[in-house]
Amino acid sequence: MGTGSRKVGQAAGPGVLLRHGALKAKAKNTQEANRFKWVVKDQKYFRRRATPGGGPPFVIEPGERWLDIGANVGFFALCALSHGARSVTCIEAEKENVARLKTNLRLNGYRGRRAHIVRAVVRGKRGSSSALLLSRKTTRHSILSVPEANHDGRTQKVPTVTTLRRLLSQWPCDAVKLNIEGAEREVLLSMHSTSWGPSIKKMVFEYSFDVFPRRQEYDDLLEHLRATDWQVFPEGVPSWFAGRRATWDRRRTLGNDARQIWAFRLSRKP
């Protein structure tokens, strides 16, 4: 550990430099330090041996082109690039996050051809609102909901509203990571079998049960993905969340209200 850096997981003050191996990033609070540990050190987006239910491994393969929707301050992009991704296109809506994303990429020498940044809100339709709800305590800003129980009304207008389909046409890629604080459901339901293009082979996304707590909504999304040529491997949910009428109970989850879902394309047309 060099001067001015901290071990992952220790309390972090403004601008504290975190390191893991050769990777480094600036974090402004303990929540971000914990996120760095979750993404970079623990690599929670990946499954090296198998995805849940005995599915295929999910890793960064050398030469892959990634689309990182909800790039935040760049932890996933750093992880992907350090593991051999050919390029990562980072989509982030919030202005301060974009600035810090640029800083973290520069700290590691990742700019130019390998790392691209697009400031935009990703919605199911391009004509949708671009108003971003700002979180007071975290970088988890959203078009739908923020972690605070009572939002203080602060918003930020993002200059560009785009769709996943449009991004894939502008930035051809092999894999997608999608984490946009609840808006994943809207975005994925807008996609059809032919929307994905010829090169996409896999995806990991987060499902926010604090935003969409009904089991039926969750099942409907998984069924939609299967019907549009995806094989899905969801992270496990509690046994009490069974049956289409079940509702997510945040009193029982201690804040653990999201699950990862890994998916692989069943067909890729040339």
Of 204 and 140, the one with more pLDDT? 204
Please give the pLDDT value at position 113: 83
Please give the pLDDT value at position 11: 39
Q: Per-residue pLDDT for 4 more than 70?
A: no
The predicted-structure confidence for 22-54, as pLDDT tens digits, reads as follows: 999 999 888 899 999 999 999 999 999 999 999
Domain segments of the chain as ranges: 18-236+245-265
Q: Which CATH class is domain 18-236+245-265?
A: alpha beta
Mean pLDDT estimate for the chain? 88
What's the predicted TM-score (pTM) here? Answer: 0.88
Residue type, 212: F
The predicted-structure confidence for 121-159, as pLDDT tens digits, reads as follows: 999 887 666 677 666 555 555 554 444 455 456 777 888
Q: Give the number of other Cβ atoms within 10 Å of residue 227's Cβ.
A: 10
CA neighbor of 141 nearest in space, from 128, 127, 157: 157
Please give the pLDDT value at position 267: 72
- Angstrom distance (rounded) from CA 205 to CA 262: 7
